[in-house]
Structure 1
Amino acid sequence: MEELYFLTAREARRLLFSGGAVKLNLDLRKTNRTWEVKLEGDEFIFPNGTRVGRDIIERIARDEGSVYFIRKGVYKAAIAGEHFYKLVPTIPPTIEINGIRMHRTKEVNPLQDTRNKVNAVKPKEGETVLDTCMGLGYTAIESAKRGAYVITIEKDPHVLELARINPWSRELFTGGKIQVIQGDAFEVVKKFNDESFDVVIHDPPRFSLAGQLYSEEFYRELYRVLKPGGRLFHYVGNPGKKYRRKDLQRGVMERLRKAGFVGVKRVEEALGVVARKPVKEK
């Protein structure tokens, strides 16, 4: 995989104040590694030989909300399509789609947010996990680190493209324990065999964008593909609760029970719901 060098406003300011060669972290703090960036006149020279003018570095230094990367030129880690997608320089990064962040970033960072979700179902060594909505893949990576084999689904090709750029998502494509499927989870899950998974982690987009992924019909499919005794975590969040007294979690819990799940309860620290498929009676 080609090595990319990443810059945020923080690193750009360090370059501008350096006055000469400087060692910087250029992988969005995924590691503690540093790379040397040299200064020649009004150009900064990156480890792959790419020369970047001071004017461009000054522009990056003013852009607090974006991530840039160096690959024989300077690019913003953003994609404009039907929606506007960009990596946001939280640690680790999250994706913003039309200004809405895909991870919680206020009370917790995206890594803590991910661990809260995965801890709700605790995948074990040798288990098989279905991660229905990949995003940047942090849930899949965290589950694989615990010894599980993971199948993860992502519908949006633009999200997949940003995951391929993001250094924190690299294990999705290099680790060997994660299979990435591009497709709509609502359709893809129908193709899995009965009782294929020990754990399902369901972290869908908000209800207004993907209502079918909150339907009893979809929950019945998740129930079908889980093994007896299998665990489900469903991220719900609390959209609308503060202003409209709407309790989306309650509706989710009712539909999960109708689909056959038991032990349905809220997990406050992960803003979601856990449930399990009952073990068959002998």
Structure 2
Amino acid sequence: MPDVYYLTFREARMLLSRRGTVKINLDLRKTSRTWEVEAGEEGVIFPDGTFVERRIVERIERDRGTVYFVANGNVYKAAIAGEHYYKLVPTIPPTIEINGIRMHRTKDVNPLQDTRNKVGAVKPKEGETVLDTCMGLGYTAIEASKRGAYVITIEKDPNVIELARINPWSRELFTGGRIQVIHGDAFEVVKKFKPESFDVIIHDPPRFSLAGELYSQKFYEELFRILKPGGRMFHYVGNPGKRYRKKDLQKGVIERLRKAGFTGVKRVEDALGVVARKTFSSNSG
């Protein structure tokens, strides 16, 4: 794999303020490793010999909301434009933004802690099988696999998968060996799993307005069917609209989960979601 160097406004600012050999982290702080970059009046030279003009580094320094990367002698924006606009945002670790909407909580908590709160709500164990219904950048799947679980994760959007391949914090999705990535629509994919296939389900869907079917009674019944007796589920809900429109989406979710057969359904405030259990065997074939 060719060398890839990642830049945000932080690294650009450092390179613009110094001259000579600069030791700098170039993997979005995924590790504490540093690389040596030569900074001069005209621009900077990366370890593989790529020269990047000063005006481009200045442009990166002014862009506080985007991740850039240097590869194959060129500078790229970690963004994809199509029907929607996708980009990596330089939080640590990065989050993904789709049409200006961030896919992780970034206020008062970073995406990694947000993930640990969600996974910690159901505590996957060594040897268990986990379903992560909506992969995104894969932080949930990676965290669950680090706890010794085997993880199946589903992602509908090929652009999200592409950004995950670009993001160094998502690398274990494709190299770890304990994670299987399925490209497909979770609403349809779950129907193909055998009954009682998973010890843990982590359901972190897009907001209700974007994927209402993933909050539906029918979908919850499928999740109940594929969860093992004694299995646990965490469902991220958030609090969209509660403050301004007097709506409580969590309340509706709790009611539908109970109707689907789940027990022990309760809110988990620090993870902005609910947990539920399956306490008896399904009669499904």
TM-score normalised to structure 2 length: 0.97
Query: Would the aligned equivalents of 2:198 and 2:227 in 1 still touch at CA under 8 Å?
Result: yes
Match for residue 26 of structure 2? Answer: 26
Question: Helix, strand or coil: the match of 1:56?
Answer: helix
Unaligned runs of 5+ in 2: none
Kindly report which structure 2 residues correspond to 1:262-273, keeping only aligned pairs within 5 A, or say none.
Answer: 262-273=263-274
Match for residue 149 of structure 1? Answer: 150
Kindly report which structure 2 residues correspond to 1:1-282, keeping only aligned pairs within 5 A, or say none.
Answer: 1-39=1-39, 42-71=42-71, 72-280=73-281
Quote the Cα distance in structure 2 between the aligned partners of 1:75 and 1:206.
29
Letter in 2 for 1:127: E
The worse-fitting range, judged by mean Cα deviation, of 169-178 and 1-10 is 1-10
Letter in 2 for 1:219: Y
> How far 1:137 sits from its partner (Å)?
0.2
Letter in 2 for 1:14: M
Question: Helix, strand or coil: the match of 1:107?
Answer: coil
Report the aligned-residue RMSD.
Answer: 1.1
Question: Helix, strand or coil: the match of 1:266?
Answer: strand
Question: Helix, strand or coil: the match of 1:95?
Answer: strand
The one-character-per-residue Cα deviations of 1:142-164 (angstroms, maximum 9, x if unpaired) are 00000000000000000000000
> How far 1:44 sits from its partner (Å)?
1.1
User: How many residue pairs are counted as aligned between the two chains?
Assistant: 281
Query: Would the aligned equivalents of 2:12 and 2:58 in 1 still touch at CA under 8 Å?
Result: yes
Quote the Cα distance in structure 2 between the aligned partners of 1:3 and 1:257.
50
The one-character-per-residue Cα deviations of 1:222-250 (angstroms, maximum 9, x if unpaired) are 00110001100000000000101100000
> How far 1:279 sits from its partner (Å)?
3.1
The one-character-per-residue Cα deviations of 1:119-148 (angstroms, maximum 9, x if unpaired) are 100000000000000000000000000000
Letter in 1 for 2:156: K
Quote the Cα distance in structure 2 between the aligned partners of 1:114 and 1:76.
25
> How far 1:99 sits from its partner (Å)?
0.7
> How far 1:43 sits from its partner (Å)?
2.8
Quote the Cα distance in structure 2 between the aligned partners of 1:261 and 1:41.
64
The one-character-per-residue Cα deviations of 1:240-265 (angstroms, maximum 9, x if unpaired) are 00101100000000000111000000
> How far 1:40 sits from its partner (Å)?
5.2
> How far 1:41 sits from its partner (Å)?
5.1
Quote the Cα distance in structure 1 between the aligned partners of 2:222 and 2:2.
39
Displaced runs of 4+ in structure 1, greater than 2 A?
none
Quote the Cα distance in structure 1 between the aligned partners of 2:77 and 2:8.
10
Question: Helix, strand or coil: the match of 1:275?
Answer: strand
Query: Would the aligned equivalents of 2:41 and 2:54 in 1 still touch at CA under 8 Å?
Result: no
Letter in 2 for 1:4: V
> How far 1:280 sits from its partner (Å)?
4.1
The worse-fitting range, judged by mean Cα deviation, of 195-204 and 35-44 is 35-44
TM-score normalised to structure 1 length: 0.98
Quote the Cα distance in structure 2 between the aligned partners of 1:79 and 1:17.
30
Quote the Cα distance in structure 2 between the aligned partners of 1:79 and 1:260.
41
The one-character-per-residue Cα deviations of 1:191-224 (angstroms, maximum 9, x if unpaired) are 0111100000000000000000000100010001
Quote the Cα distance in structure 2 between the aligned partners of 1:139 and 1:240.
25
> How far 1:39 sits from its partner (Å)?
3.3
The worse-fitting range, judged by mean Cα deviation, of 178-187 and 35-44 is 35-44
Quote the Cα distance in structure 2 between the aligned partners of 1:2 and 1:245.
52
